[in-house]
């Protein structure tokens, strides 16, 4: 069993002052560890998604872009196995792309976000998938997330558009809201479950499908908030 860094599991690598809540020291034990990267255009809500998952809070107020890359750890329980997710929050701005690209090859899973109220962020998803194809490991777990699903009146990307794109690239998809918490835990849990299954699955076991799992579990817009 591994152990988290005793001197504070989370630290900022190169974040020039983006607002962050207080961080707690963590010495939680775990059975396996995986790296998850959050990627997507600037402003789609990567930092907010991570903070919602890690702290259960929403960072409101003025938007301050991530500088470089930052990570935080969270240990989740997947059917009795403690999976440590080391979650890398990358800067969406173009000028940091060469830094973030360098981290792709170590990632076990990628959460690729767009903002349902921002068409350009959706149109850029194909380019992000191209980057993944070029720089990430072949067996990386990819999930497409349409974030800010709470912004119903500003929405310009329909759920079906996200689903269609995800089907085209054969990746799992769901809509999330870092503001309400909708599907946020599920996105990370689905990834943790897939990574655990990959590691522990016997050749005779049925293959785990992230898409089937999220389709069973996901909440629809307007259904729930936390």
Q: Where on the chain is the footprint of ligand GTP (CB under 6 A)?
A: 42-48, 59-60, 63, 65-66, 91-93, 147-148, 150-151, 177-179
- Which is nearer to ligand GTP, 25 or 127 (by Cβ)? 127
What the block records as the tokens of 207 is 């293959």
Our CB check for ligand GTP shows the closer of 11 and 63 to be 63
Q: How far is CA 130 from CA 56, 98, 99, 124, 167, in A?
A: 32, 15, 17, 10, 16
Q: How far is the CB of 216 from ligand GTP (least distance, A)?
A: 23
Residue placing its CB nearer to ligand GTP in the complex, 81 or 124: 124
Instruction: Between 78 and 149, name the residue whose CB sits nearer to ligand GTP.
Output: 149
Cβ 87 to ligand GTP, closest distance in Å? 12
Closest approach of ligand GTP to the CB of residue 36, in Å: 15
Q: How far is the CB of 120 from ligand GTP (least distance, A)?
A: 13
Our CB check for ligand GTP shows the closer of 25 and 57 to be 57
> In the bound complex, what is the minimum distance in angstroms from residue 202's beta carbon to ligand GTP?
39
């Amino acid at each position: 069993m591994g152990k988290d860094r005793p001197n504070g599991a989370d630290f900022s690598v190169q974040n020039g002052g983006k607002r962050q809540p207080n961080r707690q020291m963590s010495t939680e034990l775990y059975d396996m560890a995986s790296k998850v990267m959050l990627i997507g255009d600037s402003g789609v809500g990567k930092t907010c998604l991570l903070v919602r998952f890690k702290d259960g809070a929403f960072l409101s107020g003025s938007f301050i872009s991530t500088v470089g890359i930052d990570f935080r750890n969270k240990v989740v329980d997947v059917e009795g196995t403690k999976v440590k997710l080391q979650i890398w929050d990358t800067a969406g701005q173009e000028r940091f792309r060469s830094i973030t690209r360098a981290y792709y090859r170590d990632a076990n899973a990628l959460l690729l976000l767009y903002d349902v109220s921002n068409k350009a962020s959706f149109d850029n998803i194909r380019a992000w998938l191209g980057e993944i194809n070029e720089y990430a490991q072949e067996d990386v777990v990819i999930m497409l997330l349409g974030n800010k699903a709470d912004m119903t009146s500003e929405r310009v990307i329909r759920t079906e558009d996200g689903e269609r794109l995800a089907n085209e690239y054969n990746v799992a998809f769901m809509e999330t809201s870092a503001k309400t918490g909708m599907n946020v835990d599920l996105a990370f849990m689905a990834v943790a479950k897939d990574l655990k299954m990959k590691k522990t699955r016997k050749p005779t076991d049925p293959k785990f499908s992230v898409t089937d799992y999220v389709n069973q579990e996901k909440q629809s817009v307007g259904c729930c908030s936390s």
